[in-house]
């Protein structure tokens, strides 16, 4: 398994995969778990629960400020019952506005506040990512991971390294299929895919001339 963390993580991961054709491209992934963990934490803070009580948030796309943190399918445990996040929060404008921008810009905000990057948070996210590859995801739970987009059912172009919701079993990831995508999500998912396609083009032009 090859896990890429250095930015631009998605495009670096795609480039690494192309440069090592003898390694199956399914063995390459990039870290969007830090964004995933941040999204869970924002929801938990808002609801006054712990982060582990929130599951099935999704980070779609690029590990950049165009990423789309999606909680349409997320659940939270409240008083022993699992409830949809939208239903639990009853604050659609926050979920479609400030929540998204906070997660998208969290890395920059941490650097601005600390004058240092969020190294421990990234290290924790790498541990989470590797643990789930090794031991699998819990039943009924999915996580976010940047993986090759080939053959996905969400209308994302092939040959990008895009963050999807995945389940993992026997050290093999599988994209979660059949999640309904509303118009708001579609627009955000396409926007981050467009950025990744542009990044890929720039990177490959540079490599071709190097």
Catalytic residues: 63
CA–CA distance, 64 with 8 (Å, rounded to integer): 8
Strands 81-84 and 75-78: antiparallel
Tokens of 51: 């982060």
Angle at 164 between CA 162 and CA 167, to 5 degrees: 140
If DSSP codes are grouped into helix, strand and coil, which group holds residue 177? coil
Q: DSSP letter at 133?
A: H
Are residues 154 and 189 in contact, defined by beta-carbon separation less than 8 angstroms?
yes
Using the CB atoms, write b or e for 28-57: b if 16+ within 10 Å: bbbbbbbbbbbbbbbbbebbebeeebbbbb
Angle at 41 between CA 35 and CA 45, to 5 degrees: 150
């Amino acid at each position: 398994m090859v896990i890429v963390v250095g930015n631009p993580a998605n495009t670096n991961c795609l480039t690494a995969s192309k440069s090592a054709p003898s390694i199956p491209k399914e063995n390459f992934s990039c870290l969007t778990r830090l964004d995933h963990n941040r999204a869970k934490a924002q929801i938990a803070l808002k609801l006054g629960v712990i982060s582990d009580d929130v599951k099935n948030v999704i980070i779609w796309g690029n590990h950049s400020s165009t990423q789309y943190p999606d909680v349409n399918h997320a659940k939270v445990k409240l008083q022993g019952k699992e409830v949809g996040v939208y239903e639990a929060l009853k604050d659609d404008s926050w979920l479609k506005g400030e929540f998204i921008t906070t997660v998208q810009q969290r890395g920059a905000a941490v650097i601005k506040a600390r004058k240092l990057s969020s190294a421990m948070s990234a290290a924790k996210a790498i541990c989470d990512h590797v643990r789930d590859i090794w031991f699998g995801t819990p039943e009924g739970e999915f996580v976010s991971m940047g993986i090759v987009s080939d053959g996905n059912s969400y209308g994302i172009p092939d040959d990008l390294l895009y963050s999807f919701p995945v389940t993992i079993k026997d050290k093999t990831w599988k994209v979660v299929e059949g999640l309904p995508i509303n118009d708001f999500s579609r627009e955000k998912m396409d926007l981050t895919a467009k950025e990744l396609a542009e990044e890929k083009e720039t990177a490959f032009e540079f490599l071709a001339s190097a």
